Amino acid sequence: MTGVNDRLHVGPTVGEVTLRALRRFPDRTAFSWDGGSLSYAGALELIGRIQRVYAERGLRRGQRIAVLTGNRAEAWCAAVAAQASGLVLSWLHPLGSLPDQLFQLEDLDAAAVVVDAAQHAQRGAELAEALGPGGPVVLAVGPAEFAPDLLAAAVNGAPARARDVADAADVVAISYTGGTTGRSKGALRRHPAVVSQSLTAILADFELPADPRYLAVAPISHVAGTKIVPTLVRGGTVHLLSGFAPDRVLDAIARHRVNFTLLVPTMIYLLLDHPDLERTDLSSLELLLYGASPMSATRLLEGLKRIGPVFSQLYGQTECYPISVLRRAEHEPVSRPELIASCGAAVSGVQVALLDGAGDPVATGEPGELCVRGGGVMEEYWRRPELTAETFAHGWLHTGDIARADERGYLYIVDRAKDMIISGGFNVFPREVEDALTAHPGVSAAAVYGMPDEKWGEAVTAAVVLRAGCTVSVEELIAHVKQRKGAVQAPKAVHLLPALPMTGVGKVDKKALRQRGT
């Protein structure tokens, strides 16, 4: 039954929530970076001016707009202006290849692409040349030869008040997957799903400080960006860094008295291995969120000892974020040491089930595919109805992750279903081998994957980064895993690398490792 009261339960749009937060604290600093800052009032004014430029450029509600940026406040304002104007926002991977970015623009049928000229000038020129005069409108954030300057047009033109003209039923975002298991896909969401993701879950289930001073160092185009609006809702400040360097991160935490940040495990390993860690004042840090990929239990325990009880794990994916969280107090190395291997319990707005191949729940403690329902779940894959139907089989979003749950509801990710290695007829989960490798005192990071092999079907293969100053032989590492996990899980080959290849969202790029044969 439908009626006039249906809209009583729809809720606000993404733009309404964001603009409302900016209006509440006009004199506070919304964004800071080395060499500059932007107040709440300044951000609000810039958003309104950019909305005017979009309208002058003929961009209309419902069209798709892509944004390629580093961690830059003006580019974030351009993205918010798009959402408040009823445009559909899609972030381009900041470290993505030109072919992948062109594929995304074509797949979107994008009407416009906004490029951060300060950090992506060369790629902006490549995109503009490839798209040609008949392609999407190309706009630059800052002076550029490849496109008109969006900021100049916004600042030099007539002032315009920021207004949210979107409808809650509109599509607001199409977020593309990392593409680590195949061609990237666009996860489509309407406003209620993004509001549920950005506010309900993060503010309710994450332990954000009451007065947040957030360091955004991972790309704000991905999971790090989901902490910006919650920070602003609480009247906090976002300090922006573009590009991860451990010395700059440590310096920023100390100088700006940062009290929370989000890092991927490889970033944390580099911090732990950096000589300045012990002599840096990290006393302001209350919360260090980590996610995107599993963290070595050995290195996590090291972090708890050397940095302190500030760690909190988040788990989710492009199709549903967040799914679960392991809070700071639940990192219990003494009373509940098994929780170190958990990704936590489901967040308040998500229902979780572990299902077998027939769609039936598995017994407690048994592995099954982790499936979810909830407000933050995507609606569909953009223009991929068959894949959408497959992903939502049995009425659940299938994550592709294999997990088990204990009697208290804590989840333990066993591995990605597509990453599982079948070697000699036995199932080998890479994460278990990675945990064994990183338990070696000489190992900083490890990635394990399968390589085609005539004898084994797939050969367990490892890429390993050693800690600075350590010398460990391949034979010693293989023997170490064999002693801890047995012969089946011991790598047939180990490749020592200076660093692991990473995707644009901070995950280890195992596809790249397989392609290079190491």
Average pLDDT over residues 463-490: 90
pLDDT at 424: 64
Which is more confident, 502 or 119? 119
CA distance 67 to 90: 6
Average pLDDT over residues 37-59: 98
Side chain identity, residue 259: N
Which is more confident, 294 or 126? 126
User: Beta-carbon neighbour count of residue 334 at 10 Å?
Assistant: 5
Inform me whether the pLDDT recorded for 351 exceeds 60: yes
pLDDT at 45: 98
Average pLDDT of the chain to the nearest whole number = 91
pLDDT at 183: 73
Q: List the structure tokens of 232.
A: 């602003």
Q: Nearest-CA neighbor of 68 among 54, 89, 41?
A: 89
**Which of 193-197, 268-272, 354-358 has the lowest average pLDDT?**
193-197
Q: List the structure tokens of 248.
A: 């700059």
Which is more confident, 507 or 43? 43
Q: Give the rounded percent of residues in the chain with a pLDDT score beyond 90.
A: 73
pLDDT at 291: 87
Q: Nearest-CA neighbor of 462 among 425, 423, 424?
A: 423
CA distance 445 to 338: 21
Side chain identity, residue 326: L
Average pLDDT over residues 285-296: 88
User: What pTM did the predictor assign?
Assistant: 0.85
Inform me whether the pLDDT recorded for 13 exceeds 50: yes
pLDDT at 243: 86
**How does strand 421-423 pair with strand 411-416?**
unpaired
Average pLDDT over residues 429-438: 86
**Which of 103-117, 229-243, 441-455 has the lowest average pLDDT?**
441-455
pLDDT at 1: 44
pLDDT 10s digits, 181-222: 457 899 999 999 999 877 788 999 999 999 999 999 999 999
CATH topology identical between 11-189 and 206-341? yes
Average pLDDT over residues 40-51: 98
Q: Nearest-CA neighbor of 150 among 79, 89, 78?
A: 78
pLDDT at 518: 55
pLDDT at 457: 74
pLDDT at 506: 65
What CATH class has 11-189?
A: alpha beta
Domain ranges of the chain: 11-189, 206-341, 349-417, 420-516
User: Beta-carbon neighbour count of residue 241 at 10 Å?
Assistant: 19
Q: Answer whether 164's CB lies under 8 Å from 344's CB.
A: no
pLDDT 10s digits, 390-404: 999 999 999 988 999
CA distance 164 to 80: 10
Q: In 65-138, which residue ranges form alpha helices assigned H by DSSP?
A: 73-84, 98-108, 117-131
Average pLDDT over residues 53-62: 97
CA distance 333 to 23: 43
pLDDT band per the 50, 70, 90 thresholds, residue 428:
confident
| Assigned architecture for domain 206-341 | 3-Layer(aba) Sandwich (3.40)
Inform me whether the pLDDT recorded for 11 exceeds 60: yes
pLDDT 10s digits, 111-146: 999 999 999 999 999 999 999 998 999 999 999 999
pLDDT at 9: 64
Average pLDDT over residues 256-279: 94
Q: Give the rounded percent of residues in the chain with a pLDDT score beyond 70.
A: 95
Q: In 197-264, which residue ranges form alpha helices assigned H by DSSP?
A: 202-205, 228-233, 246-256
What CATH class has 349-417?
A: mainly beta
As a CATH number, domain 420-516 is 3.30.300.30
Inform me whether the pLDDT recorded for 81 exceeds 50: yes
pLDDT 10s digits, 142-184: 999 999 999 999 999 999 999 999 999 999 999 998 654 457 8
Q: How far apart are the first and last CA of the chain?
A: 59
Q: Answer whether 22's CB lies under 8 Å from 30's CB.
A: yes
Inform me whether the pLDDT recorded for 307 exceeds 50: yes
